[in-house]
A and B are shown apart, each in its own frame.
Chain A
Amino acid sequence: EAEVAQSPRYKITEKSQAVAFWCDPISGHATLYWYRQILGQGPELLVQFQDESVVDDSQLPKDRFSAERLKGVDSTLKIQPAELGDSAMYLCASSSGQRDEQYFGPGTRLTVT
């Protein structure tokens, strides 16, 4: 069964350092999402791609976060510099279209010390 892949699964970094997460969506899924889930809350969308184009990045803190999906397949989310408040689970999801279920990866649990 096809799955969304994410790496690393866990990351510990010191504040002010740079950190990057990788996501490989299900093959053929044009839409890719990055969500952030703070402990005790539901996931919140950071950025949405349709193929290689950003569709929605209204909640992405652009002063420190960046995301790219250069060839419309896998994607990288970067934080530089990391802050203590960035500690969270970062979830990647993909779907084949609107109203289709989003398939989530296992997530990257980030701890900033």
Chain B
Amino acid sequence: AQKITQTQPGMFVQEKEAVTLDCTYDTSDQSYGLFWYKQPSSGEMIFLIYQGSYDEQNATEGRYSLNFQKARKSANLVISASQLGDSAMYFCAIEAGTASKLTFGTGTRLQVTL
């Protein structure tokens, strides 16, 4: 079974600053993928970034980057130059082995302030 742990229930960041959202995972599978999703108050889940377990370089997508430390089983999301529109819930998720279902963490609520 897979498990995702997000230890930060809530985070505050000032506009234009960078913020790191923590995610640790647990799986016995060698092949897995790590995903980050954003969920605004409207409820839809928006895909942000993906990191494969065999990817040697950290994933980046615009202002989002994933700090992947395989030995520590961590996959932290870094958001650079925060914007007010980044205020939302952020979920880390894992897809492992032959299964393609996502196992999500409990999320981190990010609030961007002026």
Contact residues of A with B, CB < 8 Å?
31, 33, 35, 40-45, 48, 56, 89, 91, 93, 95, 97-99, 101-107, 109
Contact check, B104 vs A99: say whether CB atoms are below 8 A apart: no
Q: What are the nearest 5 A-B pairs in CB distance?
A: A42-B104, A104-B45, A98-B100, A45-B101, A101-B47
Set A42, A99, A107: member contacting B95, Cβ < 8 A: A99
Contact check, A106 vs B42: say whether CB atoms are below 8 A apart: yes
Taking CB atoms, residues of chain A closer than 8 Å to B44 are 104-107
**Digit string of B45-63 for contact with A (CB within 8 Å is 1, else 0)?**
1110010100000000000
Contact check, A95 vs B100: say whether CB atoms are below 8 A apart: yes
Contact check, B100 vs A48: say whether CB atoms are below 8 A apart: yes
Contact check, B105 vs A56: say whether CB atoms are below 8 A apart: no
Taking CB atoms, residues of chain A closer than 8 Å to B101 are 33, 45, 48, 56
Interface range on chain B (Cβ under 8 Å from partner): 20 to 34
A95 CB to nearest chain B CB (Å): 7
Contact check, A44 vs B104: say whether CB atoms are below 8 A apart: yes
Starting from the known contacts A93-B45, A102-B47, 10 additional A-B residue pairs (CB-CB under 8 Å) come to A41-B107, A44-B104, A45-B101, A45-B102, A56-B101, A99-B95, A102-B102, A104-B46, A105-B44, A109-B43
B40 CB to nearest chain A CB (Å): 11
Taking CB atoms, residues of chain B closer than 8 Å to A89 are 43
- Determine whether B91 belongs to the interface, using a CB cutoff of 8 Å to chain A: yes
B27 CB to nearest chain A CB (Å): 14
Taking CB atoms, residues of chain A closer than 8 Å to B103 are 45
Contact check, A42 vs B100: say whether CB atoms are below 8 A apart: no
User: Which residues of B43-92 are within 8 A (CB) of A?
Assistant: 43-47, 50, 52, 91
User: Which residues of B92-114 are within 8 A (CB) of A?
Assistant: 93, 95, 98-107
Please measure, in the bound complex, the distance between the C-alpha atom of A26 and the C-alpha atom of B80, giving whole angstroms: 31
Please measure, in the bound complex, the distance between the C-alpha atom of A31 and the C-alpha atom of B42, giving whole angstroms: 24
CB nearest neighbor in A for B98: A98
